[in-house]
Structure 1
Amino acid sequence: MTIEDRLAAATTALHEQLLTGRLVAQLKARMDAAADELAVLRNRLDDEQADVDKLEKPSLSRFLASLRGQQGDVDKERAEAEAARLAVADAKARFDTLRTEHLAARDRLAKMANAPAEHAAALEEKERYLAESGDPRGAELAANGELRGRITGELTEIRQALGAADNVHLYLSEVRERITKATLWSGMDVLSPGLSGRSEMLEAVDKVHEGSIYAGEWLATLKNELADIGEEMPELPAMDILLPKWWQEWTVYVNGLPVYDNVFPRVLKAGNNTGEAIAIIDALRKRLESRETSVAARLAQAERERAALHA
């Protein structure tokens, strides 16, 4: 391996160490946030289970209620406890995934501990080579090796940002599909309030929230990746479905049934905003692809210059 090859490799390794160090810090922050969320959800589960236990505790009032067929409160609390239990399981899975990724990235970083020393040694070797070599190409070859290392590192960062943008597009597209289902069910609920589709609508909205969590994680990753290459994160419209408390929003009744609530327009707005966000991310992907092509062309030119110097 020539001196310029060793210098290029050492420069790339040093750059990779810096990127991995940033990744470790990012994953640590996300893991800590997931741990906080998990703790909150576990406390909520404890509260919900306590409510269930209280209602299920043998008592005269509960016995009389069962005789009259009034099991609604118990069933409701059980359903809420089960929902809380599922939320805890989902949050625990996200925390475990982030913890695994963090440990793996930390292990990779540990293996790169010698990168700064190896880069410094390669630079010293280059200086000795240039001092002892009478060939004028020596300085040009060393400079070329340093240039190729920098370009390779830049190309790696751009491709990482592009990969994050691709994942954002994928998860936002999935969220939009889930919003479409939620829109259909909420529309049915407006047309036939309280008669059909209520539980399906609530389930569909929950699915939207679930998908938004993963999309949000990749949006955070994309923002960090763009910062590494000096790109600004584009501003995206709000895509959350901000649901009110049902009993506060159902204000018009016919025969005891609500005839209108504002869930449908909120879901519809979230769908429109998600579609707009996807278009913005698509434009970003095109810019990154163009930049990737440009940097790859610079690297190819540096390789040709290297070959010419060796000729």
Structure 2
Amino acid sequence: MTIQDRLAAATAALHEQHLTERLVEQLKARMDAAAGELAALRNRLDDEQADVDKLEKPSLSRFLASLRGQQGDIDKERAEAEAARLAVAAAKVRFDTLRAEHLAARDRLAKLAGAPAEHAAALEEKERYLAESGDPRGAELAANAELRGRINGELTEIRQALGAADNAHLYLSEVRERITKATLASGLDVLSPGLSGRSEMLQAVDKVHEGSIYAGEWLATLRNELADIGEEMPELPAMEILLPKWWQDWTVYADGLPVYDTVFPRIVKAGNNTGEAIAIIDALRKRLEARAAAVAARLAEADRERAALHA
């Protein structure tokens, strides 16, 4: 097989893989819809059969109905149950057919799993041949390969930063949920001070601190990832719940009254600041997504230039 024949076969296999991927997705969606329809029809059949069973059950009312010539009611219910049974059977056939087609498409896709690697290898073989043969395209393809390598590296780093931003956003959202619980607990303690209420509030605050540790780790990772792509870490508000030094014994009084309520606004402030931080990180994620899309477009353009050189 010549280099060109190998590349043509690899290109055809890659195209078939892309088509098969779309077919698998389409069949999966249709199969899921058919499964939902089948489940709904089975529920309807159960209801219709329950109506029939109820009418067929020996009872005084059924005996009196038969004397009055009202047999038509049960015949109607039986007909509706039979119609539901036929609908279930037809839906089952549709579902089974789609499932078989989906499995066959998945099997075909599995056999085409090596298509991308084979296509890449065939392209590289042709590029080596062109470079060694002195064909002018060889130098252009080498430059294109270097360009694609740089763009791929940039895209990888941006995606790593975006992944760190996603995780930071996730853990900050978890912290905010824990702060909400701590806010409720501290509010209840203000309204009804007591040892049990204070214990519950302090446990909730401890949960916030615990979650903040994980969020802080991802924020540190995000800072490093952003530095790698020349982005600055945005400034975030302070999100710690700074409890007063006397929170352990709760013995501080003002005008003869314990100062429990000073904790509540501290927790509320931490919650507000965390919400602000989440919004800042969300804006950062959108910027990174836009940057990744722009770099991906550059890579696609370089891929088209490579394909044109091979034409």
TM-score grouping bracket, smaller chain normalisation: 0.5 to 0.7
Matched, 1:235 2:239: no
Higher Cα Rg, which structure: 2
TM norm structure 2: 0.56
Residue pairs, 1:19-30, within 5 angstroms: none
Residue pairs, 1:281-296, within 5 angstroms: 281-296=281-296
**Corresponding position of 1:298:** 298
The one-letter code of the counterpart of 2:254 is V
The one-letter code of the counterpart of 1:250 is V
Q: CA deviation at 1:273?
A: 0.2
How far, CA to CA, are the matches of 1:225 and 1:143 in structure 2? 28
**Corresponding position of 2:215:** 215
How far, CA to CA, are the matches of 2:233 and 2:175 in structure 1? 20
**Corresponding position of 1:250:** 252
Residue pairs, 1:75-86, within 5 angstroms: none
The one-letter code of the counterpart of 1:266 is R
Indicate if the aligned counterparts of 2:251 and 2:258 stay in contact, CA closer than 8 A.
no
The one-letter code of the counterpart of 1:267 is I
Runs of 4+ aligned structure 1 residues displaced above 4 Å come to none
Larger RCO: 1 or 2 (CA < 8 Å, sep 6+): 1
**Corresponding position of 2:31:** none
Matched, 1:310 2:300: no
Residue pairs, 1:141-220, within 5 angstroms: 141-194=141-194, 197-220=197-220
1:212-267 superposed Cα distances (whole Å, 9 cap, x missing partner) = 0000000001011111111100000000011112257732265xx62534111110
User: What SS does the aligned partner of 2:223 have?
Assistant: helix
Indicate if the aligned counterparts of 1:226 and 1:233 stay in contact, CA closer than 8 A.
yes
Indicate if the aligned counterparts of 1:188 and 1:196 stay in contact, CA closer than 8 A.
no
How far, CA to CA, are the matches of 1:259 and 1:222 in structure 2? 39
Indicate if the aligned counterparts of 2:158 and 2:288 stay in contact, CA closer than 8 A.
yes
How far, CA to CA, are the matches of 1:266 and 1:304 in structure 2? 57
Q: CA deviation at 1:195?
A: 6.1
How far, CA to CA, are the matches of 1:249 and 1:304 in structure 2? 73
Q: CA RMSD in A?
A: 2.5
Which runs of 5 or more residues in structure 2 are unaligned? 5-123
Indicate if the aligned counterparts of 1:161 and 1:226 stay in contact, CA closer than 8 A.
yes
**Identity of counterpart residues, as a percentage?**
83
1:80-109 superposed Cα distances (whole Å, 9 cap, x missing partner) = xxxxxxxxxxxxxxxxxxxxxxxxxxxxxx
Which runs of 5 or more residues in structure 1 are unaligned? 3-121
**Corresponding position of 1:226:** 226
Indicate if the aligned counterparts of 2:250 and 2:258 stay in contact, CA closer than 8 A.
no
Query: How many pairs are equivalent?
Result: 186
The one-letter code of the counterpart of 2:168 is V
